[in-house]
Amino acid sequence: MNSPHELSQAVFEAKAAMDNGFSRIGPRLDPADRVDGWLVGAASRCLALSDAIVLLCRHHHVNEALPVLRTLALTAAGMRALAAAPSPEKAGALERESQGDGWVPAWSRERLEALLLEGGVASDERDALTRTLEAHAADHRRAGSTGLPWSHSFERNRHEGAAPEDVLGLAVRLLGHALRALDARWHGAFPGAEALWSR
């Protein structure tokens, strides 16, 4: 198993791959292209989310990073879905969804599964991602309940929650999916992504 430090480095490798890729293709991007616009914005969002995950894990707030990880999952899945079947209509629908009502869409397991399916993600990977993310919901709700004096006296408050290597490992996998989507749209502009997909 990779250490938290090694996984944090893998996150930074993914970020560098995105930065370098967009430096290559930037001059030929069309600001009027809705598909390109959504993918670039989503990639930028993935970078911000992964930064937050690394910082939270580094400062012993692993379980507080879990909702950010869940948003990263939905964003990367949306990128896979759009790259697999690019159209202005689908880009528009994803944009409207990101501006949707409240929090419920961001936590929908069904929506995450549907986007991964549309993106051509293999069934075992779809199942593993959705199952693991769902399991971590309890970690986010329950962990960190022993911060006050005597709180540890109650067994129900002793739930430790997620390990940093688990959360960072999932972040790397999700960034790999985001990079795969970018490579599908702009083939050859994101070299080095393959190494991240296999982690």
pLDDT at 193 over 70: no
Residue scoring higher pLDDT (2 or 159): 2
pLDDT at 156 over 90: no
Average pLDDT over residues 109-132: 95
Q: Confidence band (pLDDT; 50, 70, 90) for 59? A: very high
Please tell me the predicted confidence (pLDDT) of residue 149. 84
Q: Residue 192 is which amino acid?
A: G
183: left (phi over 0), alpha (psi -120 to 50) or beta: alpha
pLDDT in tens, 66-99: 999 999 999 999 999 999 999 999 999 999 988 8
- The CA distances from residue 65 to 60, 93, 193, in Å, are 10, 27, 24
Q: Residue 114 is which amino acid?
A: A
CA–CA separation, 20 and 106 (whole Å): 29
Least confident of 69-73, 145-149, 171-175, 183-187: 145-149
Q: Confidence band (pLDDT; 50, 70, 90) for 191? A: confident
- Domain ranges (residues) in the chain: 4-197
What is the gyration radius of the CA atoms in the chain, in angstroms? 17
Please tell me the predicted confidence (pLDDT) of residue 1. 59
Look up the pTM and report it. Answer: 0.92
Half-sphere exposure of 69 (CA within 13 A, CB side): 33
Average pLDDT over residues 32-55: 97
What's the start-to-end Cα distance of the chain, in Å?
Answer: 10
